[in-house]
Amino acid sequence: MRNLYKHIGSAFMAALLPLTAAAQSPLESGHSIMVGDDTYDMTDIWEIAFVDKATLGSTPQVTAPSVVELLKQAPNMRIWAKLLDATGWGAKMMPDAKAEKAFAEKYKAYAGRYPNNTGTRTPFQAYRRQGFTLFAETDEVFNKEWGVPMPVYDEATQSITNWEAIKQVLNEQCGKIYSNLKPGDLIDKDNAVNIFVATHLLNSNMQLANNSAVRHATEYGYTTGENINEPSTNYTVNVWDYYRTAWPQESKLLKITQTPDGQFYLNRFSKYDNGLKGTYLETGTLQEGILAHARNEVDGSVYNNVALYGSYHPIDDILSFNSDYASAMKSERVRMDFTTLLPEIASNNLRGKDAYFPTDYFSTLTNVSPDTKIQQLYARKGWVDYQGDELLVTGNYDFTLEVPAMPNDGSYELRIGYSVNGVRAKSLLTFICKDEAGNQGTWGEPLVLDQSEPVMANDCIAKKDADLNYDETLCAENDYALHKLGYMKAPAYFHVAGDRTANYSARAELGRSYNGGNMRRVLITSKMSPRKRYYIRFQSLNNASRAQLHLDFIEFVPRLVDVAGEPYREDVW
């Protein structure tokens, strides 16, 4: 590393910190800064964050603003700035600076390396940033929807002088949605306002503006264009994903949807043209959802909403996980890209990128064996990946992945989506759960997953819709017969990456000559509770160290039955 210390000064640091906050990923290629005659990449910049005070001596220090400080600067966010402080969530969501420093020191020597365990060289992620995202009602929304008094703000003391009156109304309104066992103590986890705040927070720092909350890649009818790093904005159908909120006691999944007009909505539940030969265009909504904004603009002025360790997004209505939400989720097929189960992917702006991860990089991966090698690859032309990203795990792997509980008690079918080929791995999957007291149990029988088995292409088990003349009855019967064996065709929702005929779906790819295309494997059917924690342990059963465990997407599907007792029949999308 070239000597950057000669340039350190308050003016330089003031310019530097916003750059690192905006870049989100220290090792992201293309991000650099020129100082004098020298150019420094993001690796150099990250080093400054961890320079010892003894090294800097009397050099003036500049601190990056926190999300709370950014909220205080915005004239329409006074209530939320106070809420994060008053409930303790503002401090609770900050990353452990010592742990981050230790991580950076541990892997400092690996920066710039490109390990190759799958035939693809990917950059080693030697630095890691954690953070959070807040979706925040404006003061005007609180006032209009709940009758919360508008804050009277004292600029001199930077405080709300009528906070007690505001707090009283918030306690009353939040108590109508969540149990309020401790109405007088906003810090307490059983206080309804505390719960309200927790359900507005995500354990991942993402920005709506940078394609990290939802990922446009291979959805039906869409192509990214020639430059995948600057994907086309000619959107075709809705794109969405789900994120567990920060409320630890109970799982609430926040659904973030982007519609083709570019707008973002929270908890939007839609109707679609979802027939066998449909278009999957939205035909209506069961719940329109809440409009969320990528930036905070007030009276023509734009206020910064992206801090170094977090961001906030204004929303146009009250976000509550009430009975309407619970009702909608009872019949919702929850399909999640595997990358959304790993909060650090979005926090470090790694969606749509190649990356190699050390074993202790992710907060939702535990008990990771030293020989577990984890890579993320972004879809090349001809690959079949939901939302473009895929995770490949090689070596003598053994790790445990936390998956989100569903927000309603009930029985769910758990599935995994992946693509099949001859270098894929065989794994033993064990399903572990923990109750509120931490007692461990299981939520399904162990299962051997063989991803090298081209079951979709062999023995004529699966038939293409075209070969069945798109006959609704025949296609449904074939799907049902396949499902009874524990397999499903890929969804029609996504297509082959780079394919100019973007209306040719992954569902139609099941018979490709070199592999079985993308498919789904039914893992277990199990009861789930939003108050429990759920995990899947993956253990290698391979002789070859480069055999690839392929993780593309995961599905949780409520086991609904109709009046005749037959399994609820999903659409093909």
pLDDT digits 0-9 by tens, 428-440: 999 999 999 999 9
Q: Is a pLDDT exceeding 50 seen at residue 544?
A: yes
Residues 306, 361, single domain; the answer is: no
Flag whether 345 is in a domain: yes
State the sign of the Cα–Cα–Cα–Cα dihedral 326, 328, 330, 334. Answer: negative
Flag whether 120 is in a domain: no
Residues 55, 74, single domain; the answer is: no
The HSE-up count of residue 246 (CA atoms within 13 Å, CB side) is: 24
In the chain, how long is the greatest CA-to-CA distance?
78
Flag whether 348 is in a domain: yes
Q: Which residue has the tokens 């798109």?
A: 470
pLDDT score, position 38: 42
Which 8-state DSSP code applies to residue 573?
A: -
* Mean predicted lDDT score pLDDT of the chain: 84
Flag whether 571 is in a domain: no
What is the C-alpha to C-alpha distance for residues 74 and 538, in angstroms, rounded to an integer?
46
Question: What is the pTM (predicted TM-score) of this model?
Answer: 0.88
What is the C-alpha to C-alpha distance for residues 546 and 29, in angstroms, rounded to an integer?
27
The total domain count for the chain is: 3
Per-residue pLDDT tens for 4-52?
433 344 334 444 444 444 443 333 333 334 344 443 444 334 334 333 3
Residues 241, 379, single domain; the answer is: no
Residues 51, 143, single domain; the answer is: no
pLDDT score, position 502: 55
Residues 322, 338, single domain; the answer is: no
Flag whether 563 is in a domain: no
Residues 137, 85, single domain; the answer is: yes
Domain span at 168:
68-109+127-326
Residues 29, 173, single domain; the answer is: no
Residues 513, 415, single domain; the answer is: yes
Residues 26, 74, single domain; the answer is: no
Q: Which residue has the tokens 């609704």?
A: 472
Per-residue pLDDT tens for 389-398?
899 999 999 9
- What H or E segment, with its residue span, contains residue 197? helix 192-198
What is the C-alpha to C-alpha distance for residues 439 and 444, in angstroms, rounded to an integer?
16
